[in-house]
Structure 1
Amino acid sequence: MCAIFNTHDNMIKNNIKFRAFLIGLTLWSCSVHAQNMVSMSSLHPEADTISAGKKELAIRYPDLRQFGVSFNHFGYSDFDAKLNDRDFAHGKIRTERISTFFNSPAIKWKSNSLSASIYYTYTSTELKEITNRLPDQELAALTTDKSTFDLALNYSRSATIFNRPIIYSLVARGITDGLNDFRRFNLNGSFNLPLKKTENTTFSVGLLVLIDPSSPIPVEPIINYYHKFTSSGLELIVDLPNGINVKKGVAKNAWFKVGSNQRSYTTFYDHHNTFLDGKVSYNTIELNSGAAFEYLFAENMMLTLGGRFSSFLSAKLFKDGENYSDASLRSDNKGAPYLTIGLSLLTF
């Protein structure tokens, strides 16, 4: 009997350790990632790292859907800003964001695949209750409405190395606040190595190289792990550097999921004052944790409703020529709750 209890206790301890390990991986990956949208290479349907159809993949991974639009409403949170490592200003910040994306169908030839992704983000930011701490520089209360356009070209190639499949990918991205010129160009390269593929479990690893001045580090790992527990119907989806989620079907074409996911966003400004003169970009890395409900209707339309808590892992403002390590203005933004509603299209 004691042996049975000891075995049960060990299983519980191992399960807790495993969950802590996964959460730690998410937090570590989020803290070093600074892209508007992570390279799609680890999730690209052409990679064929998961034994599932395209529709099932799109249900499992929202970034693979053909079109999506979402509205996010955040509550107020406190911020403390530093200018050139000096205490600059304190106040409250609130954000509303509308995000849309479109993934084109892939053009395929032999072992190659080429597709395009277009992202549009509308961001409304309000600053209030400002307390300035430097006598010669002043941050005023304001409300701004900004649009950001992001075009990405995704190329992937399937091959073999040492008799094992491998997927190479290259993503070129241009980001702008208008239709006339691009404010930033980024380049991502990656490879993905599938290690396991069964009916209920898949596992692959890879490496992502980032050529981006707003990225904290130039290289980070890719980890994709999926497992469906047949007894409970729970699905564990580890998709780093994007996040970790647990999903459960609650009715026909309806799912409930909880997890943590990271995104980063760029907003461009033109400022001419005593401390910022010229074009600047405001970059945030956000970890969003909470629950969401998804309902599939009309065969290929997905409705998403969620309530989450957003933690700011990084908030920096870059002048032209600056990178992540020498950003002029850095802000410590406290977390805030937010509500999200989204509609997406699965069809490929």
Structure 2
Amino acid sequence: MKTLRKVFLPLVILPFKNIIYAQKKDSIPLKVRAFFADKIPQSRNFNIEYTTVTPYSFSSQLQDKDQPDNKVKNFQQAKADVNIYFIKNKSWLLSTTLNYRYTSIKNETPIIPGIENEENFHYHSEAINLTYFSKLLKKTAIYSASISTDGSNKHFERLRGMVNVSLILKATPKTKMRVGLAGLIDPSAQIPVLPVFTYENRFNNGWVLDVLLPRKVLVRKNIFSNGRISFGSEMDNTSLYTYRNNKTYEFRQTELNSGTIYEHNLGGNFIGTFKTGIRTFINARAFNKEDSFNDYIWKANYKPTFYFNVGISYNAWK
């Protein structure tokens, strides 16, 4: 699931971000454009956010040996994401996605003897995305391929690929539905082929059911004149590289954030966001970069905690 969140999810969503920005309205099928009519769009071109959590306890194993119970006393993370579009016409879209993440973790006692209690990590990823849309089985079809890299402030570490095909089964002002498959080209991936399912339904009372499996399940509603509130769950991740004894290790952690999201259109294409709720942890492992996620040397079981997230984004094109 961690590989899913870090590599697959941002890239499989991206083709739908791109399509709305084609320059000519008549170059995009009406059913595709129906996905994006929103005063507060779900896709953003530029985004900065900050996350912190309350302290939480965990148990762990190092090389299959139980370690003393520990506690994360402080966790802070800052993220920045950029989507840039190069080619936009009636059939093809070419774009790049740039991500940076700074993570600061302070544990009560060191995880590995001899290292610091508090560590700071820099993580970045870059992707080139090519999208083509046409017709398949009389439905609007979207084909995409991406190649991505990631690394730390010291080195580039991994090269990955992704291919995806999806069909828009329905796209009306009330209901939108899409199905597809994505294939991952990544030696460390747990699941090489993943299903994609998107469903949105607008109820008569103003509430909207918003599902993107396996990433999120939300219900949301526009409130006030420029706001939107959502309740539900979203998957997130923490990814980083660390270096010990001339070896490179990768740490992956999958989180499920369940709670409330409030978004507000600030004007001038700026959108402010606040999120809070309970964070539960699906998995957390560290492994030699040359091995797979299943060949871990360290794993942890974290207790749930409360999270707080604040961010601001800019949508350059409407």
TM-score (norm 1): 0.81
What is the match of residue 134 of structure 2? 159
Structure in which a larger fraction of residues adopt strand: 2
What is the match of residue 52 of structure 1? 34
Percent identical pairs in the alignment equals 24
Q: Residue 256 and residue 341 in structure 1: after superposition, are their counterparts in 2 closer, same or farther (change >3 A)?
A: same
Give distance in 1, aligned partners of 2:3 and 2:161: 17
What is the match of residue 192 of structure 2? 218
Which sits farther off after the overlay, 143-152 or 38-47? 38-47
Deviation of 1:330 after TM superposition, in Å, equals 1.2
Task: Establish whether residue 309 from structure 1 lines up as the match of residue 278 from structure 2.
Answer: yes
Task: Give deviations 1:77-123, integer Å, cap 9, x for gaps.
Answer: 11211122221342012310001101113512441110011111000
Task: Give deviations 1:137-166, integer Å, cap 9, x for gaps.
Answer: 737561011111111111111122233221
Give distance in 1, aligned partners of 2:214 and 2:89: 29
Give distance in 2, aligned partners of 1:270 and 1:32: 20
Equivalent residues in 2 for 1:215-294 (5 A)? 215-230=189-204, 232-272=205-245, 278-294=247-263
> Which of the residues 156, 170, 174 maps onto 2:149?
174
What is the match of residue 196 of structure 1? 170
Give distance in 2, aligned partners of 1:286 and 1:139: 28
Q: Residue 87 and residue 56 in structure 1: after superposition, are their counterparts in 2 closer, same or farther (change >3 A)?
A: same
Give distance in 2, aligned partners of 1:42 and 1:236: 21
> Secondary structure of the residue that 1:327 maps to in structure 2?
coil
Equivalent residues in 2 for 1:1-20 (5 A)? none
Deviation of 1:214 after TM superposition, in Å, equals 3.9
Deviation of 1:213 after TM superposition, in Å, equals 3.8
- Note if contact 1:35-1:215 (Cα within 8 Å) is conserved in structure 2: no
Deviation of 1:33 after TM superposition, in Å, equals 2.9
Q: Residue 106 and residue 201 in structure 1: after superposition, are their counterparts in 2 closer, same or farther (change >3 A)?
A: farther
Q: Residue 255 and residue 109 in structure 1: after superposition, are their counterparts in 2 closer, same or farther (change >3 A)?
A: closer
Aligned residues: 305
Which sits farther off after the overlay, 32-41 or 235-244? 32-41
Report the residue type matching 1:267 in the other structure.
Answer: L
Give distance in 2, aligned partners of 1:106 and 1:259: 34
> Which of the residues 256, 277, 287 maps onto 1:318?
287
Instruction: Flag structure 1 segments of 5+ consecutive residues without an equivalent.
Output: 1-29
Give distance in 2, aligned partners of 1:129 and 1:181: 28
TM-score (norm 2): 0.88
Give distance in 1, aligned partners of 2:256 and 2:312: 21
Instruction: Flag structure 2 segments of 5+ consecutive residues without an equivalent.
Output: 21-28
Task: Establish whether residue 82 from structure 1 lines up as the match of residue 61 from structure 2.
Answer: yes
- Note if contact 1:42-1:222 (Cα within 8 Å) is conserved in structure 2: no
> Secondary structure of the residue that 2:273 maps to in structure 1?
strand
Structure in which a larger fraction of residues adopt helix: 1
> Secondary structure of the residue that 2:260 maps to in structure 1?
strand
Report the residue type matching 1:187 in the other structure.
Answer: G
